[in-house]
């Protein structure tokens, strides 16, 4: 029987592998991809989709079409458990288990929902990105009927991008501008350079966004939420954007993980216990140097992951992943404005957004066209 390559998730770290799927098939290997959606959304452009700058088609890859056109098998489903001894991946809600010789995991991360109570109606997490599309329609529908309150919970890049793009959405759709509140824990954008924090605050406050630094949110339910200090707030729409956590599939499968539950991998992006399991992106814990959960690393891991998967199937030396130095950060704050930061260079305005837009469009078009 042919050797089988199995991919969990067609995320940012699997882009080069997916684009070169035919190379595996031509060498006689079988390739299967498991993903819960037929599309993979590029998160860097997610807030822009919320604001209306991009249409869903502009920011997504047609994973199923790509896989099948290159001779692979696509399974629409959730990988729920890995059995590394039997070399099987189990699927949620079915008895079916998919065999592999080499497995690569790019199952990403999601915003923890632990603090959400009830059915979660009108509560939209920053990830998966598809949530932002549903949120966009809901905000426009509600804001067309009167002034609503939208609360963004969190103090990282995704929270400022979401708040800024809600402003753009409502301005362009000419609905009543909501009261937009951002609950940033104890300190707005903590951990970011002072100049980035000042610029972001100035841009958001000019849009009328209220920034609260009164403490951490502990509990969220439809229409309201409360802080650790007991203060209660009401909001029609709530966005928890409190950071992300890797997929739980590794801890529930008993695989070695890092402190955040990510698949613990060595410098070859290979599980520290199972040499035929690899991974990339937000779902891994890179033992040599824990990495930020940013798409930049997933993108940089692509060629190494591709070559190591091929080496894992064919035999041959593995390549080390070198994370590289500082990365460029550009935030999209809506209304055509961005903040760019790298080394000591930080500036805001239309040019910053245009640079981000250009980089993002070029990236996605490269893979949409393969
Ligand atoms: C709003 C927002 C904006 C961001 N902007 C930027 C930015 O501008 N620049 C930047 O560098 N980073 C940005 N990030 C961070 C970036 O999103 C992540 O670092 C990046 O998505 C990681 O890519 P990934 O492929 O590992 O994971 P993901 O993008 O989460 O992809 C994982 C894939 O796996 C699939 N999957 C999940 N679970 C399973 C399962 N059980 N079985 C099978 N498949 C599964 C998913 O459907 C998805 O296709 C942003 C994040 C957010 C939330």
- Average pLDDT value for the chain: 96
Cα(108) to ligand 1 centroid in Å equals 5
Cα 277-281-284 angle, rounded to 5 deg: 50
95-152 pLDDT per residue, tens = 999 999 999 999 999 999 999 999 999 999 989 999 999 999 999 999 999 999 999 9
Residue 158 has pLDDT above 80, yes or no: yes
* pTM summary value: 0.95
| Token code pair at residue 173 | 């759709």
Residue 370 has pLDDT above 80, yes or no: no
Task: Kindly list the structural domains of the chain, giving each domain's residue range(s) and its CATH number in brackets, ordered by start.
Answer: 4-110+244-314 (3.50.50.60), 130-242 (3.50.50.60)
Residue 367 to residue 16: CA distance in whole angstroms: 8
- Position 369 scores a pLDDT of 77
Among 14, 79, 12, 13, smallest CA distance to 43 is for 12
Question: Residues lining ligand 1, CB < 6 A?
Answer: 8-13, 34-37, 40, 43-44, 46-47, 78-79, 106-109, 126-127, 158, 161, 247, 249, 281-283, 293-296, 298
Residue 368 has pLDDT above 90, yes or no: no
Tokens 């951990």 sit at which residue? 191
Cα(237) to ligand 1 centroid in Å equals 23
**In testing the pocket of ligand 1, which one of 6, 9, 59 has its CB within 8 Å of the most ligand atoms?**
9
198-221 pLDDT per residue, tens = 999 999 999 999 999 999 999 999
Cα(39) to ligand 1 centroid in Å equals 12
Please tell me the residue having the least CA distance from ligand 1 atom 5. Answer: 44
297-349 pLDDT per residue, tens = 999 999 999 999 999 999 999 999 999 989 999 999 999 999 999 989 999 99
- Position 21 scores a pLDDT of 97
Q: What is the mean pLDDT of residues 347-366?
A: 96
Asked if residue 238 lies in contact with residue 225, where contact means CB atoms within 8 angstroms, the answer is: yes
């Amino acid at each position: 029987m042919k050797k089988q390559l199995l991919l969990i998730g067609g995320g940012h770290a699997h882009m080069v592998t997916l684009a070169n799927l035919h190379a595996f098939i031509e060498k006689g290997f079988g390739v299967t991809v498991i993903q819960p959606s037929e599309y993979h959304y590029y998160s860097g452009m997610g807030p822009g989709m919320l604001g209306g700058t991009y249409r869903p088609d502009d920011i997504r890859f047609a994973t199923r079409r790509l896989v099948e056109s290159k001779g692979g098998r696509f399974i629409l489903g959730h990988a729920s458990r890995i059995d590394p001894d039997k070399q099987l991946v189990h699927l949620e809600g079915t008895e079916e288990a998919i065999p592999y010789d080499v497995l690569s995991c790019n199952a990403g991360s999601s915003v923890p929902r632990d603090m959400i109570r009830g059915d979660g109606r009108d509560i939209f997490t920053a990830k998966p990105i598809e949530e932002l599309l549903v949120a966009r329609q809901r905000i426009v529908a509600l804001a067309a009927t009167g002034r609503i309150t939208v609360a963004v919970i969190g103090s990282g890049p995704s929270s400022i991008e979401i708040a800024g793009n809600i402003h753009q959405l409502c301005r362009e759709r000419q609905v009543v501008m909501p009261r937009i509140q951002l609950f940033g824990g104890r300190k707005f954008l903590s951990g970011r350079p002072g100049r980035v924090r000042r610029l972001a605050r100035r841009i958001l406050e000019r849009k009328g966004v209220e920034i609260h630094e009164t403490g951490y949110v502990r509990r969220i339910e439809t229409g309201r939420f409360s802080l650790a200090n007991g203060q209660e707030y009401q909001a029609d729409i709530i966005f928890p954007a409190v950071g992300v956590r890797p997929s739980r599939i590794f801890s529930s499968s008993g695989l070695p993980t890092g402190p955040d539950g990510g698949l613990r991998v060595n410098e070859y992006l290979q599980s520290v216990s199972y040499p035929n399991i690899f991974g990339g992106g937000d779902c891994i814990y890179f033992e040599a140097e824990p990495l930020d959960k940013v798409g930049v690393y997933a993108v940089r891991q692509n060629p190494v992951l591709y070559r190591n998967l091929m080496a894992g199937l064919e035999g041959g030396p593995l390549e080390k992943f070198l994370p590289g130095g500082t990365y460029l950060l550009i935030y999209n704050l809506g209304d055509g404005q961005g903040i760019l930061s790298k080394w000591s260079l930080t500036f805001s305005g239309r040019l910053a957004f245009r640079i981000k837009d250009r980089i993002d469009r070029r990236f996605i078009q490269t893979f949409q066209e393969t």
